[in-house]
Amino acid sequence: MKRLLSVFLLTILALGATVSSQPVISERQDVAIFALGYYGWNIPFQSLGSIDGEIQKVFADLGRFNILGVSQRLSSGGLEQFISIIKQAKQSNFVMPEKYQFGEAFLTEAEFNRLVGAFIVVAPVVTEFNSYWDSRNQQYKTTLKVNITFIDVSGGGTVTAIKEVSTSGYHSSNQYESIRSAIESIPSLLQFEVRSIPQFQLNTRILAVQGGQVKLQMGSDMGIMKGDEYSVIQAGSIEGFDDSREVGLIVIKEVSREVSTGQVVYSSIKLGKDTQLREIPRIGTEADLYIHNLGDDTIAVGLRATATRGFFAIRPYVAVQIPLELISSFLTVEIFPVNALFGAEYNLNMGRLSVAPHAAIGLSYFHVTSPWVSTDTEILSHVGAQIGARVSYLFNTNMKAFVDIGFEEWLAIYTSLGNESYGGSMIGLGATYKL
């Protein structure tokens, strides 16, 4: 009997260990999305449909949601009433009214029940809207701020998260175009905000290991894109508390519908089938701060933004740099030179170390300011090109250091007022921050 009891206990323990070691796999979640609430703000009617469409498109493009659209719009006060009613609906003595009114929004019993049946309810509400003529910069400017509240209906109306998206739009002659520009900026920001909520981050597993690459479960069906990053998770617990740790990094290089291919950047554990992976939410940009020394001793400091989400090896970038020696002033006039570069790199990952040949073309202008004029002036001064290679080393999942070598030349468009060409061999260094 004792032997049978021991075998039984060991079997139970073994089964428990097996269950606890199984990877967590994310599934699609049901969300109901209210139309944009805007009460108190004078927003052009044609813009409302555009904002509703952009918000719903974000959830559709993410792939991880089943979406239920709702035509009603909630105000801030109506949202508070809606959350309160959801909490009351979980009580046994709750009496279902024939019609609900949340501020200026009406819901029938059937519509309310449909919302309660969803896992998450999403309620976007405008908290700031301003569109006007900017006389200093001679253009229309629109600022838009939207708060998105995520309500866990299954959790009794608990507010899971409140995310704020702030955008701006500009246009030289058409106010509606400035509004549309602000609206079109919503998706990229909102996608990141949604993916940054732990409840919505993807958890998946390795299906197979092939040298320095892995096949992982999920693909475009769950919104995975090239350039996405996943942490390797080592499961662990202490006294019943979760002690899981990030011990590696994988970058997605290819995506099919249900399976993705990732390149292993590093891992301190041996990877195998069913190794747990967790999404690292990012906006999809690497921001570089750097300093370059050109062949004629010109020092340039700059900021570069490289697109990563949706790209793997070939990645486009834009950069803005300031040649310090060209900053000047004359009486009350100040001249500030700015170089704008547009290019691409070919990134070769070799673990934490990477090499990226790159090339770019650019324009340079003088930004002229004076207290005696109402507007600033930009004067096109140079055209230029840059070619080189970057060697970088990844210190952690969020930061790299790098060295740049190459050639950079800026040719003067005109030579009056001492304007001259400059450039030559280039060497520099900097740091990269993943955003």
Residue 425, token pair as written in the block: 């061999």
pLDDT 10s digits, 110-135: 777 777 666 788 888 888 899 999 88
What pLDDT is attached to residue 9? 46
Sheet containing 158-171: give its strands across: 65-73, 29-35, 120-134, 139-152, 158-171
Tell me the C-alpha distance between 433 and 399, whole Å.
5
Statement: residue 403 has pLDDT above 90: yes
The more confident residue out of 217 and 44 is 217
Residue 338 identity (one-letter amino acid): V
Residue 59, token pair as written in the block: 């959830």
**Angstrom distances, CA of residue 92 to CA of 6, 89, 95, 159:** 45, 8, 9, 21
What pLDDT is attached to residue 95? 66
pLDDT 10s digits, 22-32: 899 999 988 88
Over residues 278-286, mean pLDDT? 94
What pLDDT is attached to residue 244? 87
Residues in the chain: 435
Q: Cβ(287)–Cβ(318) under 8 Å?
A: no
Please give the domain boundaries of the chain with CATH numbers for all domains: 29-198 (3.40.50.10610), 201-280 (2.40.10.410), 285-434 (2.40.160.20)
What pLDDT is attached to residue 348? 94
pLDDT 10s digits, 57-73: 888 889 899 887 776 77
Rg (alpha carbons) of the chain, rounded to whole number: 27
What pLDDT is attached to residue 46? 74
Tell me the C-alpha distance between 175 and 122, whole Å.
29
Q: What percent of the chain has pLDDT over 70?
A: 86
What pLDDT is attached to residue 6? 52
The more confident residue out of 17 and 252 is 252
Statement: residue 293 has pLDDT above 50: yes
The more confident residue out of 142 and 78 is 142
Confidence of residue 19 (pLDDT cuts 50, 70, 90): very low
